[in-house]
């Protein structure tokens, strides 16, 4: 109990899991603190340990070592139902023979809540997710999205301190997914409960979360707000996993008061760039996003950064242009707004100009 901050609802201390019969741990020494009311998302590729971690919190999997604290209390000896956590998984797992009403009322009946309280809580919960009028239906008489909303309601109706969700929208089509994302965000705002959400979809993670925890091979790569992860990734892995990125290796030098990256294609001038504190000359990896690059078709000046257009991908309100630089690297450029009026063509030689303001350095060994 020492050192417990009352605002921390969940704490993982050096949590590890090695499944029997495997030679590498599925989760290795994870440390994490979650604040009350925070929306935290575990994001990472398939097999990176997200579900294993969530299931250790839920109590379905016993950690090989490490401690899990909820409100400062070690919960190792509590079975799943005593942890009092709400849970929603990808496969709806509603009781098929029960009505919507009975499904949602179930956790309250189990907890022996008085009947009149159950009545008002279930009605209010169904109203919150716009399912009033569906009380008498059974799960098979509902669409996938409606079933997931019932599952969400059932997980929240008993006011758990934390709601755990493992890819709850994974089985739904994109449009419905986006609608339910908004709904989940609203419910989170209205209830102020701590949400722990798992996804491998980076757009979903960015859209929903206060904090994103990026998993890779059983460990945490980085924890931050969506903007921190997008603008200041600490590793190539994070830079490439969240959104499109351009990575340029080279030697960073300061020449006549200007920062320059000596890259394979020639010097890249970083005018207007403020280096992070402590940055020194030497080998670095420069990251910039597709929206930080401009294309112009007048590749005349000697020191222009020339490239050949390889692919133009039409995306409606924007276009993604992939160009090959002279040294064989590729750069992704995003065109939107006015820039769309000068649509480059495949095979065309163009000049790249990039705005260094948002450029970001990643340590070469990361």
Ligand X SMILES: Nc1ncnc2c1ncn2[C@@H]1O[C@H](COP(=O)(O)OP(=O)(O)OP(=O)(O)O)[C@@H](O)[C@H]1O
Contact footprint for ligand X (CB under 6 A)? 19, 22, 26, 44, 46-52, 200
The site partner of 52 among Mg ion, ligand X, none (C-beta below 5 to 8 Å per kind) is: ligand X
In the list ligand X, Mg ion, none, the entry touching 107 (Cβ below 5 to 8 angstroms by class) is: none
How far is the C-alpha of 107 from the C-alpha of 87, rounded, in Å? 11
From 25-33, 46-54, 208-216, 352-360, span contacting Mg ion (CB under 5 A):
46-54
Nearer to ligand X, 55 or 153 (CB): 55
CA distances from residue 289 to 48, 332, 361 in whole angstroms, order as listed = 25, 8, 12
Question: Can you list the pairs that 145-151 forms with residues at least 24 positions away whose Cβ atoms lie under 8 Å?
Answer: 145/172, 145/176, 145/179, 145/180, 147/92, 147/94, 148/88, 148/92, 148/172, 148/180, 149/180, 149/183, 150/92, 150/94, 150/100, 150/103, 150/104, 151/88, 151/89, 151/92, 151/93, 151/94
198 in Cβ contact with 42 (< 8 Å): yes
Nearest approach, Cβ of 25 to ligand X (angstroms)? Answer: 8
Report the residue number, 49 or 107, with the smaller CB distance to ligand X. 49
Secondary structure E strands in 135-265: 162-166, 194-199, 211-216, 219-224, 246-255, 258-263
CA distance 208 to 226: 9
Nearer to Mg ion, 51 or 325 (CB): 51
Closer Cβ to ligand X, 195 or 273, answer by number: 195
* Shortest Å distance, C-beta 199 to ligand X: 8
Which partner in ligand X, Mg ion, none is near 200 (CB below 5 to 8 A by kind)? ligand X
Q: Nearer to ligand X by C-beta: 91 or 274?
A: 91
- Angstrom distance (rounded) from CA 218 to CA 18: 10
How many positions of this chain bind Mg ion (CB under 5 A)? 1
Q: If contact means CB under 5 to 8 A according to the sort of partner, which of ligand X, Mg ion, none does residue 284 touch?
A: none
From the CB of 88, what's the least distance to ligand X, in Å? Answer: 15
Instruction: Compute the distance between CA of residue 269 and CA of residue 249 in angstroms, rounded to an integer.
Output: 14
Instruction: Based on the shown chain and the rule CB under 5 A, indicate whether residue 53 belongs to the binding site for Mg ion.
Output: no
Nearest-approach distance from CB 227 to ligand X, in angstroms? 24
Binding-site partner at residue 177 among Mg ion, ligand X, none, CB < 5 to 8 Å by type: none
Within 13 Å, how many C-alpha atoms sit on residue 78's CB side? Answer: 17
Choose, by CB under 5 A, the member of 51, 55, 209, 211 that binds Mg ion.
51
Partners of residue 264 on adjacent β-strands: none
Closer to ligand X by CB, 139 or 168: give it.
168
In the complex with ligand X, the residue whose CB is nearer, 26 or 220, is: 26
CB of 55 to ligand X, least distance (A): 8
- Residue 275 CB, nearest distance to ligand X (Å)? 35
Q: Among Mg ion, ligand X, none, what binds residue 165 when CB lies within 5 to 8 Å by partner kind? A: none
CA distances from 126 to 105, 109, 110, 153, 156 (A): 10, 16, 19, 7, 11
Please identify, among the stretches 2-10, 48-56, 93-101, 290-298, the one whose residues bind Mg ion according to the rule CB under 5 A. Answer: 48-56
CB 205 within 8 A of CB 199: yes
Tokens of 365: 């060994």
Which pair of tokens denotes residue 85?
């956590």
DSSP helix/strand/coil, 64: coil
How many CA atoms lie less than 13 Å away from 131 in the CB half-sphere? 32
| The residue count for the chain | 366
Which of these segments, 49-57, 66-74, 264-272, 352-360, binds Mg ion (CB under 5 A)? 49-57
Residue 49 or 107: the one with the smaller Cβ distance to Mg ion is 49
CB of 157 to Mg ion, least distance (A): 25
Q: Which residue's Cβ lies closest to Mg ion? A: 51
Measured from the CB atom, is 213 or 260 closer to ligand X? 213
* CB 49 to ligand X: min, Å: 4
As a whole number of angstroms, the distance between CA 286 and CA 171 comes to 37
Per CB under 5 A, residues contacting Mg ion are 51
């Amino acid at each position: 109990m020492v050192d417990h901050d009352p605002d921390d609802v969940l704490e993982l201390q050096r949590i590890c899991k090695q499944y029997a019969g495997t030679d590498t741990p599925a989760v290795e020494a994870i440390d994490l603190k979650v604040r009350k009311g925070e929306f935290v998302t575990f994001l990472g590729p398939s097999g990176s340990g997200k579900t294993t971690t969530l299931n250790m919190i839920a109590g379905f999997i016993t950690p090989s070592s490490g401690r899990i604290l909820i409100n400062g209390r070690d919960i190792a000896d509590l079975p799943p139902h005593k942890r009092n956590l709400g849970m929603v998984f990808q496969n709806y797992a509603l009781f098929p023979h029960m009505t919507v009403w009975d499904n949602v009322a179930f956790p309250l009946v189990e907890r022996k809540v008085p009947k009149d309280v159950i009545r008002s809580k279930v009605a209010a919960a169904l109203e919150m997710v716009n399912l009033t009028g569906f009380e008498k239906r059974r799960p098979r008489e509902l669409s996938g999205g409606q079933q997931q909303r019932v599952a969400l309601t059932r997980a929240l109706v008993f006011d758990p301190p934390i709601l755990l969700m493992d890819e709850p929208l994974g089985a739904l089509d994109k449009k419905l997914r986006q609608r339910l994302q908004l709904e989940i965000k609203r419910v989170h705002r209205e209830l102020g409960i701590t949400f722990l959400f798992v996804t491998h979809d980076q757009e979903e993670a960015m859209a929903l979360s206060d904090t994103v925890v990026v998993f890779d091979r059983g460990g945490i790569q980085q924890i931050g707000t969506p903007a921190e992860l997008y603008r200041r990734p600490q590793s190539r892995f994070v830079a490439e996993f969240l959104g499109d990125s351009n990575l340029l290796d080279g030697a960073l030098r300061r020449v006549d008061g200007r920062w320059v990256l000596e890259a394979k294609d020639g010097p890249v001038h970083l005018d207007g760039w403020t280096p992070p504190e402590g940055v020194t000359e030497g080998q670095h990896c420069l990251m910039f996003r597709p929206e930080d690059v401009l294309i112009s078709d007048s590749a005349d000046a000697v020191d222009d950064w020339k490239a050949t257009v390889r692919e133009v991908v039409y995306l409606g309100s924007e276009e993604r242009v992939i160009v090959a630089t002279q040294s064989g690297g590729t750069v992704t450029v995003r065109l939107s707004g006015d820039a769309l009026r000068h649509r480059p063509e495949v095979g065309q030689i163009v000049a790249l100009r990039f705005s260094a303001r948002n450029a970001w350095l990643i340590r070469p060994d990361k």
